[in-house]
Amino acid sequence: MTTATVAVVGNPNAGKTSLFNALTGARQKVGNYPGVTVERKAARLTLADGRHVEMVDLPGAYSLNPRSPDEEVTRRVLLGTQEGEGKPSALVCVVDATNLRNHLRFVLELKRLGLPMVVALNMIDLAERDGIKIDVARLQELLGLPVVTTVAVRRRGLDALLAQLPGLIDTAAATATALPPADVRALQSEARTISGQAVVSEGQGRRITRSIDRVVLHPVAGPLILAAILFLMFQAVFAWAEAPMSWIEGVFAMLSTSVANLLPEGWLRSLINDGVIAGVGSVVVFLPQILILFAFILVLEQSGYMTRAAFLMDRVMARVGLNGRAFIPLLSSFACAVPGIMATRSIDNPRDRLTTILIAPLMTCSARLPVYTIIIAAFIPDRAVWGGIGLQGLVLFILYVVGALSALGVAWVLRSSVVRGASQTFLIEMPKYQLPALRDMAIGLWQRAVAFLKRAGTIILISTVVLWFLATFPAPPAGATDPAIDYSIIGYISQGLEVIFAPIGFNREIALALLPGMAAREVAVSALGTVYALQGSEDAMTLSLVETLRSAWPLPTALAFLAWYVFAPQCLSTLAVVRRETNGWKWTLFMFGYLFALAYVASGLTYWISRALLGA
């Protein structure tokens, strides 16, 4: 006869299910908890004294403050409020011995329930392999709970664990049914204290990690180090890419010259030189800068620092109604908003997730990099300031910072209005530091280079060819004196667009570039290259796009163009993924509308203020 229920509980990845399997073998019954799709695993076990108990493997949880359906079920079962499930008579709490400090916080939280409990210090063999030595007797004394070392996958420690169960079941369970409120920071502090006294030796890897964390997670030094890393990253994007970019420019210039020598003047030569080479070439030249940006992101991810960055940003994120869990999707959006938005699936709170989706396009994606760098190269002097800091890299860094701060500001507004609601406590497990694997780095950069070139060979190529066609046909009438583009289809379209964008300082060429830029932001650069190539004189044709823009645009217009792309409405791919992730058009159209309004207002303010300051 079954006399009691014993729940196996613990953090995810603590080896909880392995221990449950080792204890119960093939006697398990698998089903779902009523009303949810959370799996319930249970099995009957006979103890040495002949009594039967029902062992229940509860879903992994980091806290009794639930952030997912799994954690909600665990909480309900432990409080005795889960439909069809009785309150456990005792608990087996499984703890990862290689990560004791983080797992102890949940142990302390469970202890507050007042249920009889034994701690299974699992994976003790891996801890010993890493040089981690734990004083089990001291740990037991500090916790006030029995502690048994186990290696579930090798069935070690099971007899000692089972021997604890009869005594636990015989202990009178606490009668409290309401869970007193928990102070997460206090529990974490207590867990840190107990771990510090119970762990005799942490092993070299853990000691190195802890030593580094004392510096990089310091309340003052940590944010400064993070800012310095990001600043170095943006300086490197400009400084390190200069030489390879000039090589690529040389290759496309040579191709253009070869085509001009081989083909007679006409539409075919114009298509290849003005459409394909001027359009695609003006984007492909930024490949070195994009690879440098991705190299930094990969190093931060593989070294384990990215998780620390999320932790550091938690305090900042909390001020706008989010938590550190939103930082990693937002940082991923620096590469591309599409994977960044998809990464929001890791955010359990629906309101936090929706807010993160809505602000992700404000993080400066790599597609904006060609736009920023060409305007900066044309209008910002290439000189050092403040003891050797490159002015161009500094401006690029400022643009990224403005985008990030804007995202935080919009998040605060959203969380205070249309996405109002409580935020959740942020919990994250810190991995050990490790050197990035060169092979993985090479594969990651190769995959991103292929993806960028594939994009250049498809979306960007098609967009520039279509733009070339619209800017070339119909041909100007005989005796026409204005530039040929004025008589083309796009010439007529530009007349309508210019009315909309002229108040914020945009000329006809910019207005035309914004439309294909909806396919992909970097297409705006290739569109400018194509438009200026088609309407340029012979002298202008010999100039690079940077030199062309420098001579054609006043500085206020260039600054307004940069401001536009800080807030620019997202590309079609981003709109599609937002529609999919939000299950409708409501939030997709909302995001498009507020970004367009922000971009228009910011560009207008930038244009008029800079004109007033410069006297233009």
- The pLDDT tens digits of the residues spanning 547-559 come to 888 888 899 999 9
Give the least confident one: 240-249, 459-468, 517-526, 594-603: 517-526
CB of 569 within 8 A of CB of 598? no
- Does residue 474 have a cis peptide bond before it, meaning omega lies within 30 degrees of 0? yes
What integer best gives the mean pLDDT of the chain? 81
- Given a cut of 90, whether residue 602 has pLDDT beyond it is yes
> For the chain, how long is the longest CA-to-CA vector?
108
Q: Which pLDDT band holds residue 542 (cuts at 50, 70, 90)?
A: very low
Is the pLDDT assigned to residue 533 strictly greater than 60?
yes
State the pLDDT confidence band at 435, using cuts at 50, 70 and 90: confident
Residue 127 in tokens: 């801890």
Distance CA 62, CA 102 (A): 9
pLDDT at 474: 81
Q: Which of 66-80, 218-232, 451-465 has the highest mean pLDDT?
A: 218-232
Tokens of 389: 């800091």
Residue 127: pLDDT band (50, 70, 90) is confident
Measured in degrees and rounded to the nearest 5, phi and psi for residue 285 equal -60, -20
Amino acid in position 313: M
Task: Give the residue from 334, 341, 389, 339 showing the smallest Cα distance to 363.
Answer: 334
The β-bridge relationship of strands 2-10 and 52-57 is parallel
Both tokens assigned to 436 = 């990035």
Distances (CA, A) of 412 to 79, 290, 350, 424: 35, 30, 16, 15
State the pLDDT confidence band at 30, using cuts at 50, 70 and 90: low
The whole-model pTM stands at 0.61
Q: Which tokens belong to 546?
A: 């940077």
Q: 578-615 in b/e burial notation, b at 16+ Cβ within 10 A?
A: bbebbeeeebbeebbebbeebbbebbbebbeebbeeee
Q: Above 50 in pLDDT, residue 288?
A: yes
The stretch 216-240 carries a mean pLDDT of: 85
8 A C-beta contact, residue 326 and residue 426: no
**Which range among 100-104, 154-158, 533-537 shows the weakest confidence by mean pLDDT?**
533-537
Work out the average pLDDT over 389-415: 88
Question: Residue 37 above 80 pLDDT?
Answer: no
Select the highest-mean-pLDDT range: 77-81, 443-447, 597-601.
597-601
